Amino acid sequence: MSVTGSAPSPQFSPRKLRVVMAQLDFLVGDIPGNTELVIDAARRASTEHQADVVVFPELCLTGYPPEDLLLRPSLEIRVLEALERLQQENLGPAIVIGAPLREGALLYNAAVVIEAGQETGRYFKRFPPNYQVFDEKRYFAEGRDVVTLNIRGVPVGITVCEDIWKDGPVEEAAAAGAKLILNLNASPYDIDKQARRKALLERKSRENQVGIVYVNLVGARMNWCLMVARWYLTIPAKLLAKRPSSATVCSQSSSCVSTTVSRCRNHCRRNPPWRPMSTEPL
């Protein structure tokens, strides 16, 4: 295990970081359409919420679960084109997006940070799940590194979905200096899991003295209904919000993160249950 990314300053100066959670409905396989959603959300987050950073769900560029689309060589080309497009756009805030990325011969479920037109960090999911509806180990290798980044003066750690449930990723990011953890998810709805998830996030926040922002995909996929709840956690751990709202997350070290959520598309009620996809084959 190694630590990568821009190292936090040892003399951390508390400041406010405005985080927008872009919990949107990304369609599986529609990389051009999903890229446009990212651009539109980032621009709206900047103009409507004065965002410093916008956090998107797990694998938002491809939609989740992409499954055997990941086996197509052309998908990698489309993803790299989308990342290049996002770097070329003048988006204002930093963005944290989910995408499949290849390093050498291995494919990873990755979180990518883009700020000021440059890719500033990558995090590879360390615990791809392989149970119930999940079969990520069929496609993805396990990441091994801890990533901590300085985003607008705040030391931030990145994790992806299952990583938050395991011992190691959050603890190691906090030990590396992170004051805030951004967790990207694409979790299916489970009526019996909400209380356990809430307790887990509160415990992780309290034990590691970090704030946690938990972002999830919304909508429906084949036989999936995706979870819609949102959380912001503080120290001592306290559930601040579970619906779209504004909140302020402050730690005992006096670092402060002002968080808000962007309006999300409600796949089932507010919009038609489809979006025209690019007609160009993968």
Report the alpha-carbon distance of residue 182 to residue 17 in Å, rounded. Answer: 12
Active site includes 125?
yes
Copy the structure tokens of residue 261: 């959520």
Report the SS3 class of residue 203.
Answer: helix
DSSP lists the bridge partners of residue 213 as: 182, 232
Q: Single out the catalytic residue among 125, 136, 162, 204.
A: 125
Active site includes 58?
yes
CA distances from 125 to 134, 168, 282 (A): 14, 12, 25
Report the alpha-carbon distance of residue 111 to residue 58 in Å, rounded. Answer: 7
3-state SS of the chain: helix, strand, coil percent to 5? 25, 30, 45
Q: Single out the catalytic residue among 60, 115, 136, 161.
A: 161
Q: Single out the catalytic residue among 58, 136, 162, 202.
A: 58
DSSP state string for 20-71: EE----PPTT-HHHHHHHHHHHHHHHHHHH--SEEE--TTTTT-S--GGGGG
Residues designated catalytic: 58, 125, 161
